[in-house]
Structure 1
Amino acid sequence: MSESLNEVLRLEALRKSYNIGQANEVEILHGINFSIHRNDFAALIGPSGSGKSTLLNILGLLDTPTSGELYLLNQATSIMDDAERTKLRGNSIGFVFQFHHLIQAFTVFENVLMPLIMVHGRPNQQAKQKAYDLLHAVGLENLSKRKPSELSGGQQQRVAIARALITEPALLLADEPTGNLDTQTALDIFELFRKVNRELGSAVLFVTHDPRLSVNCDRTITLVDGRIESDMNRTGLIGVPTF
């Protein structure tokens, strides 16, 4: 597979500012460059205030950069309107957050199906089977009829992962997904992300403050003061820091 076909995401000279044209204008991201490929299992780390949340929102097409370009599946997103970005996001990106954002009124099974219901309406049998298969993959097939409030924190996070995978995303973005879990449950969830990356083929970008998790990722991207300080895999430097 060629480099371009293997590429899920690419940032070129990406910058983000707020309060543009005002006295309190501030630039948060300063010319970010890196790529994510289909086989990547990467951690994004950095101190509080380094710009990780801003960057993640842009990567997930929830926000737009001030300048530069974000390519998702080789498509330039700066020229897209909101509807086009929303469609691309829904088809290509899965999100898992520290807080699960499950809908308490719905069952586990219905929560997993929700991304497909929002796009296609009433789910067909194929969609239902996919939801059951994902619940089996995360070890919750016997809890499909329960409400989220009846599950533990780790179980709810597994539901959130299954929900994120229902659209078969090329990229899975995880924002501190183990931040409110105990140590063993956090390790279990980390291993589940590993399984997703290995068996389902989704590239994973894992934002974490936990060095016990980031050290076990194949690649670590360090963001400091809105710049890429380092981009390392297990064999050494793979990206050029931004200064």
Structure 2
Amino acid sequence: MSESEEVLRLAGVGKVYNPGTPQESAVLHGIDLRLARGELAALIGPSGSGKTTLLNLVGLLDSPSAGELYLQGRPTRELDDTARTRLRNEAIGFVFQFHHLIPAFSVLDNVLMPLMIRHGKPGAEDIERTRDLLVAVGLEGFAAKKAIELSGGQQQRVAIARALVTHPALLLADEPTGNLDTRTAENVFELFRRFNAQFGCAVLVVTHDQRLAAGCPRTVELVDGRIVGGAGDVSGSASR
């Protein structure tokens, strides 16, 4: 892939917790991973394989112990907290298993939150963008409702709209359908596919659901902190 297409690149990334202590634990080993604009990839692997740790690194919520992580071509390992937070808000959208909405806020305000964090009071363009996303996720009639009044599937759709409102280059989803019934999970996953095509953002979805993973054009498999299977520019390297 060309540099202009590359959204994410991990080069020899490792993660060790409590280094130099009796509690030292190496979780990731020499991870090499590339994700291009418009790619939709599932990240799978058994519990304890390092999926959450890897997602935290990719989401700039933590820093690698070794190697480098590039986001839109920019190295991130040495960024300070302020720069890391700014880049995360500008370039990454998050959807979690637990939606983390603010219960007492309206649906509209929950979706607007990343824009308000970015530049304060939302303008007319921000509100229009938010309403367009609520239409896209089928919640145009729910803008004024409190988040707590919605069903689990509706709340997850609000979370997806919130993740997309900044038009991120990279969308990360951590078990986004884990608390949903089969039909609702399929509907939510279809939204990921649709927005991946519509906005061209790279999407990385952590899932235990093999059916949903099979619906992604690319699957990356992580076992014992190493990538052991995947398509495209994905490889695992370095031995213990």
Does 1:195 pair with 2:184?
Answer: no
Q: Does 1:240 align with 2:239?
A: no
CA distance in 1, matches of 2:86, 2:206: 24
What residue is the counterpart of 1:161 in the other structure?
A: 160
Distance, in Å, in 2 between the alignment partners of 1:172 and 1:240 is 21
Measure how far apart 1:82 and its partner are: 1.1
> How far did residue 139 of structure 1 move?
0.8
Q: CA shift at 1:151, angstroms? A: 0.9
Q: Could you tell me which runs of 5 or more consecutive residues in structure 2 were left unpaired when the two chains were aligned.
A: none
Q: Give the equivalent residue in structure 2 for 1:31.
A: 30
Residue 129 of structure 2 aligns to which amino acid in structure 1? K
Report the CA distance between 1:118 and its aligned residue: 1.4
Q: Secondary structure at the match of 2:235?
A: coil
Match status 1:8 vs 2:3: no
What is the DSSP-based 3-state SS (H/G/I as helix, E as strand, rest coil) of the residue aligned with 1:232? Answer: coil
Show structure 1 runs of 5+ residues with no match: none
Within a 5 Å distance, the mapping from 1:91-240 to structure 2 comes to 91-232=90-231, 238-240=233-235
Measured after TM superposition, the shift of residue 80 of structure 1 is: 1.4
TM-score w.r.t. the length of structure 2 is: 0.97
- How far apart are residue 21 of structure 1 and its match? 1.0
Amino acid at match of 2:81: D
Q: CA deviation at 1:240?
A: 3.0
Deviations 1:133-163 (A, max 9, x none): 1101111011111111211111100000000
**Is the counterpart of residue 73 in structure 1 residue 68 in structure 2?**
no
Give, as a single letter, the amino acid of the residue that structure 1 aligns with 2:148: S
Relative to structure 2, which stretch is displaced further, 75-84 or 219-228? 75-84
SS at structure 2 position matched to 1:154: helix
Aligned Cα RMSD in Å? 1.0
Aligned CA distance change for structure 1 residues 75 and 203 (closer, same or farther; 3 Å): same
Give the aligned residue type for 2:190.
E
**1:106-146 Cα shifts (integer Å, max 9, x gaps):** 00000000111112111111111111011011110111111
Amino acid at match of 2:133: L
Maintained 8 Å contact 2:108/2:144:
yes
1:201 is displaced (CA, Å) by 1.2
Larger RCO (CA within 8 A; separation ≥ 6): 2
SS of corresponding position for 1:198? helix
Indicate the percent of aligned positions where both proteins have the same amino acid: 58
TM-score relative to the length of structure 1: 0.96
Q: Distance in 2 between matches of 1:105 and 1:120?
A: 22
Corresponding letter in the other structure for 1:163: R
Deviation track 1:72-129 (CA, whole Å, cap 9, x = no partner) reads: 0000001211111111100000000001000011000000001111121111111111
- Partner in structure 1 of residue 44 of structure 2: 45
Shift of 1:241: 3.5
